[in-house]
Structure formats: C-alpha cells, structure tokens
Amino acid sequence: MAGAPFWRRVLDGVLSIGSYPGEPETQAGGRRVLVAALVVGTLLNIPTIISDFNAGYTLVAAANLVLVAVTPIFLEALRRRPHRLAWIINGIFVLVLAVQLLETTVYGGLLESGLVVVFGLAFTLGALVAISLKAAVWWFVAFTASVVYAVVIPSLVDPIYEVPDPTADAAFNLVATGVLVLAVLAYFAHQRDRFQRRSDHLLHNILPNEIADRLKDGRAMIADDFAAASVLFADVVNFTPMSAGMAPAELVGLLNDVFTSFDGFVAALGLEKIKTWGMSTWSPPGCRGRAPTTRTPSPSWRSGSATTSRRARSPAVASRCGSASTPAR
C-alpha cells in the first residue's frame, strides 16, 4: 500500500472507517458504501450552504452547517466503536431527517421545499445496505410520515422563506435520489454476481461439472449409471519419513506442487478425481461424461507421474500408482 497513489490511500483510509477484525463481508460492503455516500453528500452540501447564506435562508444554512460539522464526529465515533454501527447510522439519519423537516417547514410544504423529503428514501436504502431489512422497513415508515408531514404542514404553519421557483430544486432532488437508488441497486447486483460466482466455483471444486450443472438446474436425478469403471490410486512413496524432516511451510508447498501436477494429469486424460487426502489421490477413468470406458493407466499417465518429482520442490518425489477395473455394482 505504501506505493499506492495518494488518492488511493486516502480513499482506502476513508472506506476503512468502522472496520474491525472478523467483520462480516456483507456488512463490510454495506458499511463502505454508506461511509462513501455520507462523505460525498457532506462535501456536496457545502456549496449549498454557501448559496443559502447568500440568498438569505439563514436558518436553513445554519442547520445544514451544523449537520456538516457533526458528520466528522459521527465518523470518529464509528471508527472508535465499530460494533455500534446501527446506532451511529441511525443517529446520522435522525439528524438529517430533522434538518429536512425543518427545511420543509420554513419553505412551506412539499413542493415549495423542492421535494427535499424525497431524500428520505436514501435512509431506507442505507439501512437496507448497512443495517438490516427490519431497519429499512422502519425508515420507510419514517419516510412516509415525512411526506405526510410535508403535505399537511402548510395548513398549520406559515412559511418563513419563499423560494421563487422550487422546480429546479425539485428536479435536482429527484435526480440525486435516482442516482442513489441506482448506486444501491448496482451494489446489490454486484454482490449477487460475486457470491454466485463464488458459489459456482465452490460447487465445481467439489463435484464434477456435469453434476454441478444438474444441481443448479434443479434436476431430481443427478447420478449417472455406468456398467463398468476403473479406479486409479496414486500416492507418494515414503511420504511419512520424508515429511518428518521438513518444515510445515515446505511440506505444504511440496504437496501443493504434487497434487497440482496430478490434477493436470487428471484433466488431460479425461478422468475425475474422487478424493485427495494426506499424500494420496483416487481417480476413476471412464466415469466422466456420457461415454464410459474401462481402462488402465496409459503410458502418458506413467510418464507424467514420473515427471512429478521434477516439477515438485526438493526433495525429489517418487509416486506409486495402481488401478483396478471392474463392473460397477
């Protein structure tokens, strides 16, 4: 990370706010999205504050200035107390909602305030991403109540400020809310695709490709019927005494090289690995695909096994192979 560009180090530092060892991956992703949105929203709010002060909307500008000032406090609290994520995020949302209701009141209602309460949808999305579905439901209730408040308030309180043409503000708020919705949907789509790829990779690692595809398709019958099959067994000669004199890291590296070589032979010869344990592996020739055959190790397998010792790390490794062919019962 020391050689990374300055902007990258700053971005990583901001997105790491609230992280902690053992943090669930799904929560970490939602937290990063929420922290980034909070920081960007705070920075974009500064020009609006200056504009409101210049236009004479002092009360609104002061309220937003307080919001900008306390945001770093909330972020620092999140950094120090990451396990209180839900409480801190809810506190930020409550403060922002209070400012929005104040703007709605002083401007005189829903349309007059430029639909500022529509940002309440961002609270629902933020709670859904970073907290829980239950929290998102409660914040949607709060959003609905704020819309009702914005509709009713003109009949109860006279406005303090009058915006000549709130259409531009309403358009901006709608577009900004749409961008937030799109960003959250893109996040969920990315997470879904990522976890789907991970699930597929794991499934194909533990099952033959044909069986994994049938499981994904939801087929009731996933097994194949073979009249006969061969099973090939291979292990490393004198593995136990050899491993006794090796460091753990060296031993793991050696096994990785050996089994990577065997996996290459299995794929090249059209076999299917049944099991790997210790220093041994089982593979059944003739049980892959729709054309079962019964065969013994070919010369290419024998020559390939001999090269394992040359591919693996020192010390030299000798492999021992055997096979059995029989009708499947």
Report residue 319: phi and psi, to 5°: -110, 150
Residue 201, helix vs strand vs coil: helix
pTM equals 0.64
- The structure tokens 């996996």 sit at 263
**5-35, pLDDT tens digit by residue?**
887 888 888 888 888 888 887 788 888 888 8
How many helices (H) and strands (E) the chain has is answered by 11, 4
Mean pLDDT of 130-146: 92
Where does 228-327 sit in CATH, by number? Answer: 3.30.70.1230
Mean pLDDT of 197-219: 75
Residue 119 CA to residue 146 CA, distance in Å, equals 10
Among candidate residues 110, 134, 132, the one with its CA nearest the CA of residue 120: 110
**289-313, pLDDT tens digit by residue?**
444 444 444 444 444 444 444 444 4
Mean pLDDT of 314-319: 68
Which of 3-12, 59-68, 241-250 shows the lowest per-residue confidence on average (mean pLDDT)? 3-12
Mean pLDDT of 72-101: 92
Domain with CATH 3.30.70.1230 in the chain: 228-327
Residues 6+ apart with CB under 8 A from 188: 129
Among candidate residues 149, 163, 88, the one with its CA nearest the CA of residue 120: 149
Residue 139 CA to residue 9 CA, distance in Å, equals 34
